[in-house]
Structure formats: structure tokens, C-alpha cells
Structure 1
Amino acid sequence: MTLALVSAAAFGTSGPFGKALFEGGWSPAAAVTARIGIAALVLAIPTALELRGRWHLLRKNLGVVLIYGMTGVAGCQLFYFVAVDHLSVGVALLLEYLSPVLLVGYAWATTRRRPSPLTIAGAGCALAGLALVLNVFGDVSLNLIGVAFGLAAAFCSAAYFVVASHSHDESLPPLALAGAGMAAGVLPLLAVGALGLLPMDASTEDVPFAGHQVSFLVPLLGIAVLAAAFAYVTGVLSARMLGSRLASFLALSEVLFAVLFAWWFLGELPLPIQLSGGALIIIGVLLVRASDDTAAA
């Protein structure tokens, strides 16, 4: 659980880092592509060392790597950014974070075992808390295209947790899965940029961050090394220890960390309704953790 929270906190830093790049003239697609590409480079040598003498594991798990890269790395972010073009940020995030509920339904369908009342209650509390943290009730605008892409991001997020938590005797080690998945995930992002489907604007000018003008490398390396490479490796480790369902509910704490980091780095104070939502998310996670069917996920 500690690893899952550390991973969520690392993912939560992407907001302040990303906002600094956006204000410096970077487009979201360019920032995401650079983020994943640099993370792939950072993890390349550790991945090679991890697989030394065991390269057959990569061949046997090539399909898993491709699914991981296409969904959890590239799909989530691409579909989310398309959703944001048609919806408010809060609603788009709320749709993406439906993945824990999708995983509860997936476990129910595959095991034919109905979720316990605690799991259902925990899912309800967590989603209600998420809606409050994202403050989606203030200005909600729905667009069918945006909703469709938001739900696609949710399915990609659910697939990420399923793949990350899956383990057997010849599974890729967590670090190798994250590293190879980064390499697989950056390819569709580069293709999207080459085809001109999304703007790929970047700049080497200094950017505003934490009240100062800093080199663009500061937020770029932050979003790539901390919010991608480190976050994904710890995410895979925690998912294998906890299972996909509990790991996905703990991942909801990313929005809490994002709010706290926005407060710390950007001076954006959380609203009382957001703090109340955070308490509901914590209650929801505790209920899921206490349920008797968590191990079955």
C-alpha cells in the first residue's frame, strides 16, 4: 500500500510540471511524448541489466508489453487529452477514473462472484469523493465525443492495472515491464505527431515554475523521471503485490496528491469541498481494503 501511495504521489506531480511546460509554449501532446520518450531512455539501461541472460522473457511477454504500452502508457494520456478538448478537466478525469469500477465489474464477470457489500460501498464512496475533489458540479458540460474518449481512457487505465498486476513464473520483472512498456508506448505517440493528428509544439525557453523562471529542463525531467519512470515502476510493483482492484482504488489518491502539489507549487488552494472529497476517497479505499473479496481481484 505504501508503494501504491508513493506511485500515486509521483503521478500527482505531473500537474505542476505539465502546467509549467504548457505555459512555456509546449502543447500537451508534445509534453506527453517527451515525457514517455525520456522515461523510456532513463529505464533502458536498468531494463537491459534486469533482462541480462533472460531476454527470452521479453519475447514471451511481447504481447503483454504491447498491451501495457498501448493502453496504460499511450492510450490513457492520448484519450484523456482528446476528452479534455470536449469536456472540462474535472469531468474528463472523473470518466478516466471510473477504472476501479470497471475492474470490480470485470472481476464479477470473470469470477462469477458478486462483489461484497463493502466493495460496492467503497466504490460508491470513492467515486463520490473523486467527484468532490475534481469539483465537477460547478460547471459541467457534456459532449458525446468527449464522453466516449473519457470512457476509452478509463478502459485503458483498467487494462493497465490488469496487465501490471498479472504475474507468473515467466513474467517480466516490474522494472523491465515498465521500461519496455515505455518504449512501446512512445511509438504511437510519435506516429500521432508525425501524422499531424495532434499539435506537437515545444520550446526551449525558460518556464514559470514554483514562482520562479527556470530552465524548461526542470519540469521536463521532473515529468519524465519522477512522474513517469519512477511512478510506473512503483505502480507495477504495488499492483503485483495488491492485485488490480485494490491498486486501482489506491491510485485514486493521485488526485489528492495533485491538489496538494498544486497548492504547494502553484499556490492553488484546495476548496473545503475538495478536502471533504479526499476524506470520502480514503473511506472508500479502506472499505475496499476491508472487503473479503479483495484478494480475488
Structure 2
Amino acid sequence: MPGMSHARAVALMVLVTLLWSGAGVVSRHLEAARGFEVTFWRSAFNALALLVALPLLRGADLWRSLREGGRALWLSGLCWSVMFTAFMFALTLTSVANVLVTMAIGPLITALFARVFLQHQLPARTWGAIAVAGAGIAWMFGAELQTGAAAGMGVALAVPLAAAVNFTVLQHVSHGSADPDEALGGEAAATPDMLPAVLIGALLSALVTLPLAWPLQASSHDLMLLAGLGVFQLALPCLLVVGLTAVLPAPEIALLGLLEVLFGVLWAWVGAGEVPGPATLSGGLLVLGALVGNELLALAGRHRAGPAR
């Protein structure tokens, strides 16, 4: 992906958010699986898909990467496991809109981490887009917070925190040292392959939630839906987003990731009857406007700088 144009990378990131956004509506059509069992099966099917895909993509290098990946690989894997576990469990505690709106603070956290830990100088347009999106999120958050929703939204808060750490680590590895200690001096290590981190996250999530999910009660209908989530809503888009960190800066990935909020709320509305309130709709329009405005300003800037590659 390093040779991919910015426009194609943005389009691929939009596809990623479309795939991610299906979890909420699918979870509303489960028959028997509840709580941690939903998380276990989704993570387990994700791990199975990755155990098939990664050896095809990497061959014997996959196992070498797992042995020699270092702390960055395992830190990223831990972040993926938190994201996988907290997101699906939060959906069992509160509405899709509440979960996704809580997750939407991710760009603010990611931008802060990139500025503090990676010394990124963010353009004014990105800060402006984050501010507008943040206003929309705050508006939705205040309106959607209901009695009994606090626990689910608290669990959901772990997702943007882990995602911000993860995107920062992936960007650090893509553009610099694989080991945080390398920044203090010494010879830089070879850049590790970070795709296996997604597998580590899936395995950790499945192992941690299996005891909490027992006894398993999912029907065959549930297993089919959860298998689809594991493969197409997790494995495929997560592999894509790891590659996109070599093309798009972490704050832009997180900002584009806000589309998951809009898509997810829409699917839950159309496919599961979870009607969002007026504040969710108006706040969502602010978020969408911030995304479109940021990308249009970026495109105009690249055109002024010279012809696109």
C-alpha cells in the first residue's frame, strides 16, 4: 500500500468503515447469543479467518513475525483485543447509536496522541474538522445519554482509547522505529510486520471471553451471523486499515473512521428499527460535514502543490 495514492487510500478507508458499521444491526438479529458469548464467537471466527488468510499472505514469515515482532506488535495486539471485546459487549448493554457516538471521540484522542508522542504538526483544516466533529459528537452524546445507558457507554469508551494507542503505534512503526526505546538512541531495528497483531488481538479476545461466555447458547442462525461478522466486519477491514497506516496519517484515519458512526446508526435504523433522535441526526450531519470539508481542503491543497501522483 505505500505506493497507493491518497485518493484511493481515502476510498478504501471509507469501505473499511462500511464493513465495520454492520456489527450493530447484525447483533440485533441474534436469537440466543448474549453478552460475552457474542464477543467470543465474533473474535473466534475472526481468529479462524486470520489463521487462514495470514499464512497465505505471509507464508513462513508469519510465524517469524510473531516470534520477533517485539513490543510494538504485542502492544498493537493488546489494543485490538480491547477494541474487539469492548465494542461488542457494549452493544449488548445499550443502543447502537450510544455506542457509536461514544466511539466517535476517537479522532480527538488520536490527534492528541499523535501530537504528543509522534510530534505531528496537524494542519489547521484537520484541527478545524476535529472541532466541528467534536461539536456534533457532544450534541449527540448529551441527547442520547439516558438512564441505564451509562454502563454501556463506559464500556464503549475503551474502544477509542485503545484505537488511539493502536493507530499511534502503527504510525510509529510505519514511519520510524519499531521499539519505543529506539527513539532515545541506538541502532534502529527492522520494521516489524504488524498484520499479525490483528490475529493476536482476536485470539486474546476469544480466550478472555470464553470463560465468561460459558455455557454457550448460540443457535445455528446466530453462528452464521457471527461468522459473517468475524470474517467481513473484523478480519478483512482490520487487515486493510493496518496497511492504510502507511499511507494516511493516524488523525486522518481516525477522522474518516467517524463514518462508521453515521453508517452504523443508519443500518440500525433501517435494519433493526432503532430510530435515532433529532440530535443524533443533526450531530451526524456536523460530523459528515467535517469529514467532507477536511477531504475537500486536502484535495485542493494537493492540486495547488502540483499534479497528483
Regarding TM over 0.5, the answer is: yes
- Tell me the alpha carbon deviations over residues 84-104 of structure 1, each in whole angstroms, 9 at most, x when there is no partner: 788776555444332211121
CA distance in 1, matches of 2:218, 2:158: 33
Choose 222-231 or 262-271, whichever is displaced more: 262-271
Q: Mark the CA change 1:180 to 1:92 in structure 2 (over 3 Å): closer, same or farther.
A: closer
1:219 paired residue number: 225
Please say if residues 4 and 239 of structure 1, whose CA atoms lie closer than 8 Å, have aligned partners that are also in contact.
no
1:285 paired residue number: 291
1:258 paired residue number: 264
- Tell me the alpha carbon deviations over residues 245-270 of structure 1, each in whole angstroms, 9 at most, x when there is no partner: 10011111001111222234224455
2:137 paired residue number: 130
Displacement of 1:42? 1.2
The share of aligned pairs that are identical, in percent, is: 22
Please say if residues 25 and 268 of structure 2, whose CA atoms lie closer than 8 Å, have aligned partners that are also in contact.
yes
Choose 245-254 or 120-129, whichever is displaced more: 120-129
**How many positions carry a matched residue from both structures?**
275
Task: Give yes or no for the alignment of 1:240 onto 2:223.
Answer: no
1:187-202 aligned at under 5 Å gives the runs 187-194=204-211, 198-200=212-214, 202=216
Displacement of 1:228? 0.9
Task: Give yes or no for the alignment of 1:29 onto 2:46.
Answer: no
2:3 paired residue number: none
Runs of 5+ consecutive residues of structure 2 not aligned to the other structure: 1-9, 176-189, 303-309
- Tell me the alpha carbon deviations over residues 149-203 of structure 1, each in whole angstroms, 9 at most, x when there is no partner: 5543322011222234442663316xxx1x5523443325423442xxx444543
Q: Mark the CA change 1:61 to 1:4 in structure 2 (over 3 Å): closer, same or farther.
A: same
Task: Give yes or no for the alignment of 1:52 onto 2:59.
Answer: yes
Choose from 158, 182, 186 the match for 2:203: 186
CA distance in 2, matches of 1:138, 1:107: 29
CA distance in 2, matches of 1:224, 1:136: 32
Choose from 24, 37, 48 the match for 1:15: 24
Displacement of 1:291? 6.1
**RMSD of aligned alpha carbons:** 3.5
Displacement of 1:34? 1.1
Runs of 5+ consecutive residues of structure 1 not aligned to the other structure: 207-214
- Tell me the alpha carbon deviations over residues 191-246 of structure 1, each in whole angstroms, 9 at most, x when there is no partner: 3442xxx444543436xxxxxxxx22331222111111112122223333212110
Task: Give yes or no for the alignment of 1:170 onto 2:191.
Answer: yes
1:210 paired residue number: none
Please say if residues 70 and 184 of structure 1, whose CA atoms lie closer than 8 Å, have aligned partners that are also in contact.
yes
CA distance in 2, matches of 1:184, 1:88: 25
CA distance in 2, matches of 1:190, 1:199: 10
CA distance in 2, matches of 1:53, 1:188: 24
1:69 paired residue number: 77
- Tell me the alpha carbon deviations over residues 20-69 of structure 1, each in whole angstroms, 9 at most, x when there is no partner: 22xx1212311111111111111212211222253433333243332222
Q: Mark the CA change 1:81 to 1:8 in structure 2 (over 3 Å): closer, same or farther.
A: closer
CA distance in 2, matches of 1:144, 1:270: 17
Please say if residues 26 and 201 of structure 1, whose CA atoms lie closer than 8 Å, have aligned partners that are also in contact.
no
Choose 4-13 or 107-116, whichever is displaced more: 107-116
CA distance in 2, matches of 1:220, 1:145: 24
2:255 paired residue number: 249
CA distance in 2, matches of 1:146, 1:265: 21
CA distance in 1, matches of 2:70, 2:214: 29
CA distance in 1, matches of 2:128, 2:232: 33
- Secondary structure (helix, strand or coil) at the match of 2:191 reads coil
CA distance in 2, matches of 1:240, 1:282: 24
Displacement of 1:137? 0.8
Q: Mark the CA change 1:91 to 1:274 in structure 2 (over 3 Å): closer, same or farther.
A: closer
Please say if residues 25 and 202 of structure 1, whose CA atoms lie closer than 8 Å, have aligned partners that are also in contact.
no
CA distance in 2, matches of 1:162, 1:64: 10
Q: TM (normalized to structure 1)?
A: 0.76
Please say if residues 119 and 287 of structure 1, whose CA atoms lie closer than 8 Å, have aligned partners that are also in contact.
no
Q: Which amino acid aligns with 1:281?
A: V
Q: Mark the CA change 1:6 to 1:154 in structure 2 (over 3 Å): closer, same or farther.
A: same
CA distance in 2, matches of 1:112, 1:136: 32
Q: TM (normalized to structure 2)?
A: 0.73
CA distance in 1, matches of 2:261, 2:149: 23
- Secondary structure (helix, strand or coil) at the match of 2:132 reads helix
